[in-house]
Structure 1
Amino acid sequence: MTRHLLLTSTLLATAAIAPAHADMNFNRVASFPVTANFDGAAPDETSAEIIDATADGMTLVYTDSPAGVIGVIDITDPTAPAPKGTLAVDGEPTAVSVIGNTAFVGVNTSESYTAPSGFVKAVNLADMSITASCDLGGQPDSTARAKDGSFIAIAIENERDEDLGDGRVPQMPAGDLVMIDVVEGTLECATMRRASLTGLADVAGEDPEPEFVDINDLGEVVVTLQENNHIAVVARDGGLVSHFSAGAVDLEGIDTKDERAALTFDQSQPGRLREPDGVQWIDNDHFAIANEGDMDGGARGMTVFRKDGTLVWESGASLEHAIVQIGHYPDKRSDSKGAEPEGMEFGTFDGTPYVFVMAERASVVAVYDVTDPTAPVLKQLLPSGISPEGAVAIPERGLLATANEFDGLEDGAARAHVMVYQYAEGPAAYPHLTSEGMGELTGWGAISGMVADGEGMIYAVSDSFYGYQPRIFKIDPASTPARIVEAIDVTRNGMPAQKLDMEGVVLDGDGNFWVASEGRTGRVIPHALYKVNAKGEIKKEVGLPPELMAVEKRFGFEGITLVGDTLWMPVQREWKDDPKDHVKLVSYNLETEDWGAVLYPKAAPEKGWVGLSDMSVHGDHVYIIERDNQHAGDAVTKKVYSVPLSEMVPAALGSDLPVVSKTLVRDLIPDLTSTGGYVLDKVEGLAIMSDGTAWISTDNDGVDDHSGETMFFSIGAVAK
């Protein structure tokens, strides 16, 4: 049967995250870098894509396509994952399912799109030996195991060439579904049976391209045909149970423009094809799909169907709206598929069934309570590594693990990771910052400099990533999580102010702000200071004097603070006249308009570079963030130092500048790893309340080659 299903308004879910259960939540407890699984030097590119676990839940197995291996991790102690090495599989591993202690790995060996080939290989994880191999006659894309361990299902995609014919299907040969019995842990190739999926879909029905598969307790296989926008349910003997169109969704309140510089959620996409990717059974009658899109579609959410094709629930844009509110929206992908929900997992924890949806581009895991499959509730959004692809639930141990495929070596970003989450008593640790409750959908990201007022609020600026939408955010840190309560657009002559890279902000005591903008000569962004009123209007611009412009380089002002009548700005890195490993703290007197500076001695980098970020004053000291540009295990310097105000006596520019002394206040690396993640690169915000309590924030780079994670936390009083 074939049904074209359109969204009805009665099936829309709400956008807000449901209040977390007070007693039980998922929280990340560990991150494992894929590079740790290689003896000696790791390859230039690694990945963690699809993941599963052994029957006892003590070992994780993941596919690493670029390296041509599967990787194995010991999670006997889930808070301290340990490497168990890799195994080459003589091809590109695309999927893995584990029965007992045997991993069944789909391996792509295709010579071309028109000559696809591949195998499924059985790997004994006890001695890492390949015990069986079955020729699949095509390119495997995903695998699933029967709940009773009696057989595996493999989606043979025979994927299209996206550079051929505008990437449209049909492109032969067609894909199909393969099932193979597993007898006493042994893969029996002779039992292979194929289920034809041709002629089912209205979209290129002669060329089905199956993506993900899952198997229910009855042994029925549900398979998504992504480019065909179709779904099929197949019995274990290969007979067709049902099939139907995945249908379309009317999306409202989304961002569809690739301006990459502003978050504007006032557009719509009527009749957007779902084009599902991930799929998971909830029970023997209901399953959920993740609507990533690929060729023409991408409905940006999750849908629940009955296996007879009845649509019972649709998230619409609500999942993406929740992602927007926690600062994870990938604006660079607005004109494509937005947050791109892709992989899925299902697990029942302490009697509560959950569906986990991996948003590939937003780098979050959405946790839905599906106690009622007709009314799922979004319980949590979990931070992940960059581009979560696969997940495995281990309910008997209260664990969830995700495989995050993006390797950022070439882009200066974090490398691929596997992350582990624990289901336990206690509050949700993430998000740290949200715009939920503002009354309208407000996106944010790339938080840079901060400042506290005298009433317990914090103001933060976004940097040049949102160049067409510069904003100052008012944050209430007393909320849990901290909440953005106001977004002030920075304007010039009534229009959004352009050519800004706001990296620091301070209050002047009269209701106005001073903003430090970091210059980019090649991008025609001036090094400058701006006076901005409470409405966000730029009232004054102060350019740098010739003495500074003669020696300026990229990496300019990274913060700003006010001491009496003098503004102080830390320069991030050395300019042309600075001694090695010394940078200027530049002063500007608001009364006399005189410029000056002192020198700050920063740490020598162990790798990459070390520079300064934000600055704030409290009592008789200024406090400065000093950081390197490294992630994860390469990070060394993420620290807060104090400098006595008595030494902040500026000398004339061009003269011999005095060198101030510094005292370590806080090493931030323990804070940055306290939520089980890897160390984030950009610690960029520092605000100190009137009682001396300091708050720290990280810059998420606008979710561009970044996990999108923003940490916003207090380190307590800086002065005892």
Structure 2
Amino acid sequence: MTRANRRPAPGRFAAALVATAALAACGGGGDGQPSGPVSQPLSVQLEKIGGYATGQFGVSAAEIPAYDAASRRLFVVNAQAGKVDVLDLRVPAQPVKIGEIDAATSLALPGANINSVAVHDGLVAVAVQAATKTDPGRVALYRASDLVLLGSASVGAQPDMISFTPDGKTVLLANEGEPSDDYQIDPEGSVSVVDVSQPAAPVVRTAGFGAFVGQEATLRAQGVRLYGPNANAAQDLEPEYIAVSADGATAWVTLQENNALAKIDVASATVTALLPLGFKDHGAPGNELDASDNDGRINIRGLPGVRGLYLPDAMGAYTADGQTYLVTANEGDARAWGEDNSAYWAGDASQGFVEEFRVKHLINKSGWAGRAGDDLPPQLGAMAAGGLLNPATFGYCGAVAGDPMGCRADDVLGRLNITWTMGYRTNPDGSPMMFDATGTANPAGNRLMYDQLYSYGARSFSIWNANGQLVWDSGAEFEKFFASDACRLGSARNIPCKDHFNSGHDEGGAFDSRSDAKGPEPEGIAIGQVRGRTLAFIGLERMGGVLVYDITNPAAPQRLDYLNSREDWTTADPGTVLATAGDLGPEGLVFIPADRSPDGTPLLVVGNEVSGTTAVYRVNASGGQP
């Protein structure tokens, strides 16, 4: 997410139970292997059966859920309070709060906040961010049955997601290491590998990125995004989310802003590879998108020259035919530090870094001087005086040499948010190639020539192999489904999705409001086994709701269901009708298989950051393998 659109509280979604084996240990499902031949197609329908409401709107009061089967308790990160709410789930239709975990008090760390939680066989692990996020964080271990603190240890800066290995002996933390808002302090990102076999004395090792310092040019050439001001690779790489193989030997970490994955050998706590993810061609059939929030209509179409950066957030792992596959929610995220700092916008580039810019401002033939002091990033202003579009790529929307023409229109490319840091033509040494105002290459010119435009997120979910090679992507399926008559909203499924296409999660009556940004914004992932099939549950942060896909065959997933339990879609400020608004802003998800469920049926639990609600869904299934 862009920092301008991040949740106001410091907790970030970080720890749904992702690797399939880890899911089994924490209340998830199976080892990822189909249990046998499927006798008939699987049918799945989600049904909301209950939930818990904090009564707090828009402050991230419900983010990451984790489940302990022995105590039948849910542990839900409440970022607004900086704690974990503990819910009794013995009656799934009526979760009841029975306690909380307060790391700031139990660890004597004033101002500390819990970002993430995971559970394995009665052991609760939490990721604790320091009061100053650039300081080292902590991992803390509690007993699920009575919430007693068992032990803790120091980890890297801003631990943002936590997960167990399948055997429960190791905890992994993604330490994002974001810079301070003014970019004066930029800690290194890292992954903490913590031996918790003795919870009273956890042992921490660090998988860092120091070995990649000095290789920045090579990594950029390979497609890893390294672009923070004055940052080396170790500082610029920001771990976000972790998935673990079924045997616990390998972990993969999303490096969201870097558009890459890190592969980690767990035994040696070593980063063995960085895997760039590339981009999606939005001009190719099947990859279309709606790029405008200001045209009053649904307008899904191919846009040659527009490339979507996957920038995944949540990720899960599962096994099919003996191979590990990774499933990513391609949310998108832009770096936006110092956006509230007037000194930065006044031209002091040392006070921040904002990479997001609208197309219509970037390619104004008159240049972007008129944006100075408003929303012109000083780093961009220092590079050139304006930007142009290559007519060879963008001639379809009217671009000619020296003038983008109709491409700037709000109903074409003008409203789309993109990164100005990529897509312009460069010299052999990597420096920007300059053009004059007529669109002619000229070292004395002061214009950039954009051959492609890179937008945030792929508006999809993807399946990758263990080496980060794309196996399958949902393409434009999300937006096309929401624009169709087949899609319905609300628990009763009686509200046409297309009437609220690409709506925001904190507003009502906002048709098409997110098309210029990241569309439905897939963010959360949970994976589980139902009737011999492997299912992916994808939470959509903006449009809301959960999509269910059968991913048993990684090369040919099938959509099975979509449920959005938001009920009020018209009240301008949903916070004023919070008690009846339903669930807004899915963040973290956890799947609970039938053999660990309190009522013997498979359940899905979703933390909703905007409505501050924890929703409990029953996964009703038929067919498949009984």
- Residue 142 of structure 1 corresponds to 161
SS in structure 2 at match of 1:332: coil
Q: 1:241 to 1:44 in 2, by over 3 A?
A: closer
Distance in 2 of aligned mates of 1:63 and 1:180 = 21
**Mapping for residues 252-651 of structure 1, pairs under 5 Å:** 252-259=287-294, 261-266=296-301, 268=303, 270-283=306-319, 284-295=323-334, 296=419, 297-325=456-484, 326=487, 327=497, 329-330=502-503, 331-384=512-565, 385-395=583-593, 396=595, 397=597, 398-406=602-610, 415-425=611-621
Following superposition, the deviation at residue 57 of structure 1 comes to 7.4
Q: How many residues align?
A: 386
8 Å CA contact retained: 2:189, 2:208: no
Q: Does residue 246 in structure 1 map to residue 277 in structure 2?
A: yes
Following superposition, the deviation at residue 23 of structure 1 comes to 5.4
SS in structure 1 at match of 2:483: helix
Q: 1:260 to 1:138 in 2, by over 3 A?
A: farther
Following superposition, the deviation at residue 139 of structure 1 comes to 0.9
Following superposition, the deviation at residue 357 of structure 1 comes to 1.1
SS in structure 2 at match of 1:320: helix
Distance in 1 of aligned mates of 2:615 and 2:58 = 21
- Residue 192 of structure 1 corresponds to 205
If asked which structure has higher relative contact order (CA below 8 Å, sep 6+), I would say: 2
- Computing the radius of gyration from Cα coordinates, the structure with the larger value is 1
Following superposition, the deviation at residue 21 of structure 1 comes to 5.9
8 Å CA contact retained: 2:61, 2:609: yes
8 Å CA contact retained: 2:62, 2:77: yes
Q: Does residue 175 in structure 1 map to residue 211 in structure 2?
A: no
- Residue 3 of structure 1 corresponds to none
- Residue 94 of structure 2 corresponds to 80
Percent identity, aligned pairs only, is 28
8 Å CA contact retained: 1:26, 1:422: yes
- Residue 399 of structure 2 corresponds to none
- Residue 394 of structure 2 corresponds to none
SS in structure 1 at match of 2:482: helix
- Residue 436 of structure 1 corresponds to none
Following superposition, the deviation at residue 309 of structure 1 comes to 2.4
Distance in 2 of aligned mates of 1:265 and 1:378 = 20
Following superposition, the deviation at residue 73 of structure 1 comes to 1.2
SS in structure 1 at match of 2:479: helix
8 Å CA contact retained: 1:282, 1:373: no
Following superposition, the deviation at residue 85 of structure 1 comes to 2.5
8 Å CA contact retained: 1:49, 1:64: yes
Residue from 114, 117, 138 that aligns with 2:136: 117
Distance in 1 of aligned mates of 2:532 and 2:82 = 38
Following superposition, the deviation at residue 68 of structure 1 comes to 1.4
Distance in 1 of aligned mates of 2:606 and 2:244 = 20
Distance in 1 of aligned mates of 2:588 and 2:559 = 19
What's the CA shift string for 1:176-210, capped at 9, x where partnerless? 111101215x1643343334374556311441011
What's the CA shift string for 1:537-564, capped at 9, x where partnerless? xxxxxxxxxxxxxxxxxxxxxxxxxxxx
Amino acid in the other structure paired with 1:370: I
Q: Does residue 89 in structure 1 map to residue 285 in structure 2?
A: no
**Mapping for residues 653-672 of structure 1, pairs under 5 Å:** none
SS in structure 2 at match of 1:137: strand
Following superposition, the deviation at residue 144 of structure 1 comes to 1.0
Q: 1:44 to 1:85 in 2, by over 3 A?
A: farther
Distance in 2 of aligned mates of 1:146 and 1:99 = 9
Q: 1:22 to 1:341 in 2, by over 3 A?
A: closer
Q: 1:149 to 1:264 in 2, by over 3 A?
A: same
8 Å CA contact retained: 2:113, 2:129: yes
Q: Does residue 47 in structure 1 map to residue 245 in structure 2?
A: no
SS in structure 2 at match of 1:183: coil
Distance in 2 of aligned mates of 1:84 and 1:30 = 17
Q: Does residue 203 in structure 1 map to residue 225 in structure 2?
A: yes
Following superposition, the deviation at residue 376 of structure 1 comes to 1.2
Following superposition, the deviation at residue 266 of structure 1 comes to 3.2
Following superposition, the deviation at residue 59 of structure 1 comes to 1.4
SS in structure 2 at match of 1:293: coil
8 Å CA contact retained: 2:58, 2:609: no
Q: Does residue 34 in structure 1 map to residue 54 in structure 2?
A: yes
Q: 1:160 to 1:343 in 2, by over 3 A?
A: farther
Distance in 1 of aligned mates of 2:615 and 2:605 = 6
Q: 1:61 to 1:344 in 2, by over 3 A?
A: same
| TM-score computed with the length of structure 2 as normaliser | 0.58
Amino acid in the other structure paired with 2:462: T
Q: 1:159 to 1:244 in 2, by over 3 A?
A: same
Following superposition, the deviation at residue 131 of structure 1 comes to 1.8
Following superposition, the deviation at residue 62 of structure 1 comes to 0.9
Following superposition, the deviation at residue 226 of structure 1 comes to 0.5
For the aligned residue pairs, the C-alpha RMSD in angstroms reads 2.6
What's the CA shift string for 1:657-716, capped at 9, x where partnerless? xxxxxxxxxxxxxxxxxxxxxxxxxxxxxxxxxxxxxxxxxxxxxxxxxxxxxxxxxxxx
Amino acid in the other structure paired with 1:256: A
What's the CA shift string for 1:621-654, capped at 9, x where partnerless? xxxxxxxxxxxxxxxxxxxxxxxxxxxxxxxxxx
Q: 1:159 to 1:336 in 2, by over 3 A?
A: same
Distance in 2 of aligned mates of 1:400 and 1:392 = 6
- Residue 415 of structure 2 corresponds to none
Unaligned runs of 5+ in 1: 1-19, 36-41, 407-414, 428-720
Distance in 2 of aligned mates of 1:82 and 1:34 = 11
| TM-score computed with the length of structure 1 as normaliser | 0.51
Residue from 165, 168, 174 that aligns with 1:155: 174
SS in structure 2 at match of 1:329: coil
8 Å CA contact retained: 2:194, 2:205: yes
- Residue 350 of structure 2 corresponds to none
Distance in 1 of aligned mates of 2:170 and 2:115 = 18
Unaligned runs of 5+ in 2: 1-39, 105-111, 214-218, 227-232, 335-418, 420-455, 488-496, 504-511, 566-582
Amino acid in the other structure paired with 2:45: N
Q: 1:187 to 1:243 in 2, by over 3 A?
A: farther
* Larger proportion of strand: 1
8 Å CA contact retained: 1:57, 1:394: no
8 Å CA contact retained: 1:118, 1:136: yes
SS in structure 2 at match of 1:213: strand
Amino acid in the other structure paired with 2:607: A
